[in-house]
Amino acid sequence: MADAYTRFVRSAPGALIAKRTGLPRPARLLRREDRPEPVLGPVVVLGDSAGADQVARLLLSWGADVRRRFEELPRVGSVIAVLDEVSAPDQLGPILLPLSGAMRSLAPGARVVTISRPATGEDPSRDAARGAVEGFVRSLAHEMRGGATANGILAADGVALDAPAVIGALRFFLSSRSAFVTGQFLEVASEAGTLTEDQQQPLAGRTALVTGAARGIGAAIARTLAADGAQLVVLDVPAAGTELARLANELRAVPLQLDVTSGGAGRRLVQFLREKSLTLDVVVLNAGITRDKMFANMTPDRWDPVIAVNITSQLSLMEALLEAGDALGDQPRVVSLASTSGIAGNRGQTNYAASKAGVMAFVDALSLRLADAGGTANAVAPGFIETEMTARMPALNREIARRVNSLQQGGLPADVAEAISFLSSAEAGGIQGQTLRVCGQNIVGR
């Protein structure tokens, strides 16, 4: 679904003009249907710790072509730098600098992933080294070309590198399912979670609710979760009943027409689940709206609905599901839709940004409540995604929004859905209260 500019610069004459003038030349991103293999090889594992050896053995068990050096490799598909034992900044160079000479040999759609530890505030030298890894990855991501990405995994002290969530995050970042995720980190706080044997259908046997499912990103989420094996309950407002019924028929899902802002919406959801004898293993809180206006012109009719749909409804639905006792399964996964606007703010979106910042704080708090039951709560923050909503933006604003990220293009609804599917999996049990940006490393925010 490339835009007109991207189609032009990918043509022979357009590519020549773009090269001569320095215009952006967005690469074609390889997604699930383009690159089904889990690891693009050959893969080079950097580092000399026991953890590096452990990661190399893991990749060999996946059938990957694993090397420990770049010599005699004309093309490199993936690089994993294992920095779990660095304790001083001067230890980074010997591990990372070999990648410098191999940057031009990275294949289109290559993946670079670091595995390190988060700073703890206990040791200045060690924390400086750990913090430096984050700066390195975020800067490297801006330099990647050909649709390649760079991301990092932060395994908390005491978490083994073969913990389910570390393996799951590594799988996600190495795969084509993370095509629009770059310059980002996922922190693994514990060894909770379960390894998924069937990587083709990681959500098999799980029941998932998707709110705001009738169209756009919500429909893409539903389709991706269904493709990954989940049984679905798809929810949207009665006004979207026709589209909801069509989607439910397509996915053999259970439809529910419900306004999530109405009084007693949570109680009616619980009653519906009991009537259908359903227990939710995954809850995706996607329903959201915009009512953009400069704050000088903001009125209650624009502020109140955005807050009600985007965050208050999430609070009330989850409270009802938790209080019911029988509505959620063991080790439930909750994933909420945030936004980069909630991270960095956005002109004309004080209401929307407030609601999405609230979402991120909400999942952080909810994760603590769910942790004792083995559950998780996380958020996904999309950047510019090609949807009907963004298609209505003024043309110049839309074009600028597409280009101000490291991948120089808009993402697709499927990109958001892929991140949500991973965070909904059994493997993601050690990831708590995180917000994963799916934005191509948009220049706003952190």
Instruction: Just list the catalytic residues.
Output: 352
d(CA 282, CA 331): 9
> Rounded to an integer, what distance in angstroms lies between the CA atom of residue 230 and that of residue 226?
5
The b/e string for 270-284 (b: 16+ C-beta within 10 A; e otherwise) is bebbeeeebbbbbbb
Distance CA(331)–CA(207), nearest Å, equals 12
Nearest to 228 by CA among 209, 206, 247: 206
Nearest-angstrom CA–CA distance, 111 and 148: 6
- How many whole angstroms separate alpha carbon 421 and alpha carbon 208? 10
Asked if residue 429 lies in contact with residue 194, where contact means CB atoms within 8 angstroms, the answer is yes
As a whole number of angstroms, the distance between CA 203 and CA 206 comes to: 6
| Residue 336: DSSP 8-state | E
- Which of 267, 58, 235 is closest to 161 using CA atoms? 58
Question: What token pair was written down for 51?
Answer: 């953890």
Q: How deeply is 149 buried, as exposed, middle or buried, from its count of CB atoms within 10 A (0-12, 13-18, 19+)?
A: buried
Phi, psi (degrees; rounded to nearest 5) at 76: -125, 130
Pairwise CA distance, residues 203 & 421, whole Å = 8
Backbone angles phi, psi at 81, to 5 degrees: -100, 115
Q: Residues 264, 317: contact at Cβ < 8 Å?
A: no
- Strand spans (E) along 260-363: 280-285, 328-337
Instruction: Read off the DSSP letter of residue 91.
Output: G
* CA distance linking residue 416 with residue 438, whole number of Å: 6
Q: Sign (positive/negative) of CA torsion 312, 317, 320, 323?
A: negative
Whether the Cβ atoms of residue 270 and residue 317 lie closer than 8 Å to each other: no
Chain mean position to CA 350: 24
